[in-house]
Amino acid sequence: MNENLFASFAAPSMMGLPIVVLIVMFPSVLFPTPSRLINNRLISIQQWLIQLTSKQMLAIHNQKGQTWALMLMSLILFISSTNLLGLLPHSFTPTTQLSMNLGMAIPLWAGTVITGFRYKTKASLAHFLPQGTPLPLIPMLVVIETISLLIQPMALAVRLTANITAGHLLIHLIGGATLALINISATTAFITFIILILLTILEFAVALIQAYVFTLLVSLYLHDNT
């Protein structure tokens, strides 16, 4: 039972070859390139969704920040599609791997910080000390603000990993409990099944929300530095 619980998080391989790269690349197949002025229904719906999200997300940015539009939209599309595909039974979810999420979070966060230090050095350094801080608190607050800046990529990655992993584990556990209870008590099994249905609906929402939160936070870090 213990081995089965975490088996779905192991890196998948087929005939000894790792196929995790194929799994990571797969969601891009679901977003075909628009090739006409008026496209088919799938592409039109995707374009509408992308426009809606990008308008809302890029509204706070100035011209410099809006150069990150492609990056931010690719990020939210990738994470949301990966999370949603991971809810299919027996599928592997790349965003449950901390290594992958760190690989997304650290370069993006570092990019925003380096952009800020390069173009607005004074403002970026002054950001470590909130305005109006009393004199005795200044050194401590500078240290605290530095630590909170350095923790940002870790928090980004761990938040996504923990949320998706926890959801998958819960579904696995409650699904197992439902199966085990069928022979013991049909009523309890039915109630557990209802809980499983509700949890799955919640996980659909969490998959989209976590993608949005990740992208929004990167967008906010960019806004602070541009």
Partner 1 sequence: MTNPEMDAQVHFTDIKKHFNSYTLTSRMNWVLATYEGIALMILYFKLRSTKAPTVKAT
The b-or-e profile of 143-172 (16+ CB within 10 A means b, else e) is eeeeeebeebbeebbebbbebbbebbebbe
Contact 116, 124 (CB under 8 A): yes
Q: Are 10 and 81 in contact (CB under 8 A)?
A: no
| Candidate list 125, 180, 194, 205; residue touching partner 1; CB under 8 A | 125
**Mask 171-190, x = binds partner 1 (CB under 8 A)?**
--------------------
Among 36, 55, 90, 122, binds partner 1 (CB under 8 A): 122
Stretch that binds partner 1, among 67-75, 138-146, 149-157, 169-177 (CB under 8 A): 138-146
SS3 at position 86: coil
Tokens for 215, please give them. Answer: 């992208």
User: Cβ of residue 140: shortest distance to partner 1, in angstroms?
Assistant: 9
Binding of residue 139 to partner 1 (CB under 8 A): yes
- Closest approach, Cβ 143 to partner 1, in A, equals 7
131 binds partner 1 (CB under 8 A): yes
CA dihedral 137, 139, 145, 149 (to 10 degrees): -170
Q: What DSSP state is assigned to residue 226? A: -
DSSP letter at 9 equals T
Residue (142 or 158) nearer to partner 1, CB: 142
123 interacts with partner 1 by CB under 8 A: yes
143 binds partner 1 (CB under 8 A): yes
Dist. CA 129–CA 139, nearest whole Å: 9
CB of 116 to partner 1, least distance (A): 13
Q: Where would I find the beta strands (DSSP E) of the chain? A: 13-14, 17-18
Contact status: 36 vs partner 1 (CB under 8 A): no
State yes or no: residue 134 binds partner 1 (CB under 8 A).
Answer: yes
| 149 scored as a contact of partner 1 (CB under 8 A) | no
Alpha helices in the chain (DSSP H): 2-7, 20-25, 41-58, 69-85, 98-119, 121-126, 138-182, 186-225
Regarding 147 and contact with partner 1 (CB under 8 A), the answer is no
Using the rule CB under 8 A, which residue among 19, 24, 50, 142 binds partner 1?
Answer: 142
Question: Residue numbers of the site for partner 1 (CB under 8 A)?
Answer: 122-123, 125-135, 138-139, 142-143
